[in-house]
Amino acid sequence: MSASEIPTPIYPGIKLDVNQRPYVNALVITFTAISFITICLRLFSRWWTKIEMWWDDYLIIFAAALCWTLSALLIVEAQQNFFGQHIGKSDRSHLTFFMKIMYGAIILYTMALTSSKLSLLALYWRIFRGSTRQWPIIIAVAVNIVWMLVTKISISSTFLVGLIVTIISIIRLWKLIISDKRLGYGFDPTFNEVESCVWGAVEINLWVVVASIPTLRPLLGKVMRNMKRIAHDDSQLRLPQFFSSRCQNRI
């Protein structure tokens, strides 16, 4: 063994030749693509429905950029710095670079998580903001305002999708506890930190998705209205043809 190599700690159940690079790439790329598509749909929804951009949009774009940067760093770690393999496969120069990137990844994770939650709070404020002096008017003018409240309640129900992110957070914490237990056997960050890092990337990308789902409602509503209008126009066009064919059959 050369002086640059670092021994892999031995513990029960260890497989020295395991390589989790495909696992890292598959999860990170999949959920990064999902968050990217969601952001594109959100921006398209704002443009098509002519809804003005606000702080919730700017914050989620910033959070998404941080998420994608973190995902790119994890892929680089897997490709170049033996991330997903045991530390015995690495050397001191790669390990130093690996630890520097991981330090930056922790900062990116914290900033992305904070920005996505702030975006969700800004969206809450955008939907529900209003003066308390408006409540007598809301009570007096029943029908239209009640329908607006029902709409807001239906929008709020979409936030329940955040339960998925909560489950992912629990999984990440569970994986983090497992990696901490392995520290008792020795120093092996290139392998032990895989699960917590990958599920952290999944978590923040899903936060971007969850914070964007309510903003897609105007887009879906407009699409549904257009589909109904097209279906109605088609039925109006086919109606005379139907009657003419019935008449021809009777002749």
List, as one string, the DSSP characters of 232-250: HHHHHHHHHHHHHHHHHHH
Domain for residue 136, yes or no? no
User: Does 16 map to a domain?
Assistant: no
pLDDT in tens, 49-91: 888 999 999 999 999 999 999 999 999 999 988 888 888 888 8
Please state the pTM of the whole predicted model.
0.77
Q: Is residue 139 part of a domain?
A: no
| Residue 45 structural domain | 21-129+148-250
| Total number of domains in the chain | 1
Examine residue 70 and state whether it is found in any structural domain, yes or no: yes
Residue 141 phi/psi, 5° resolution? -95, 100
Each as own residue / partner, the long-range contacts of residues 37-41 (CB below 8 Å, 24 or more positions apart, any chain) are 38/208, 38/209, 38/212, 38/213, 38/216, 39/64, 39/208, 39/212, 41/212, 41/216, 41/219
C-beta separation of 49 from 219 below 8 A: yes
**Does the residue 228 lie in any domain?**
yes
pLDDT at 241: 52
Report if residue 134 sits inside a domain. Answer: no
The first and second tokens of residue 181, run together, are 């237990």
- The answer, yes or no, to whether residue 118 has pLDDT greater than 60, is yes
d(CA 243, CA 230): 21
Across the range 204-229, mean pLDDT stands at 81
Average pLDDT over residues 187-216: 89
User: Which of 119-123, 164-168, 226-230 has the highest average model confidence (pLDDT)?
Assistant: 119-123
15 occurs within a structural domain: no
CB-based contacts of 151, cutoff 8 Å, min separation 6: none
Q: Is 86 left (phi over 0), alpha (psi -120 to 50) or beta?
A: beta
47 assigned to some structural domain = yes
Q: Which of 20-24, 38-42, 168-172, 216-220 has the lowest mean pLDDT?
A: 216-220
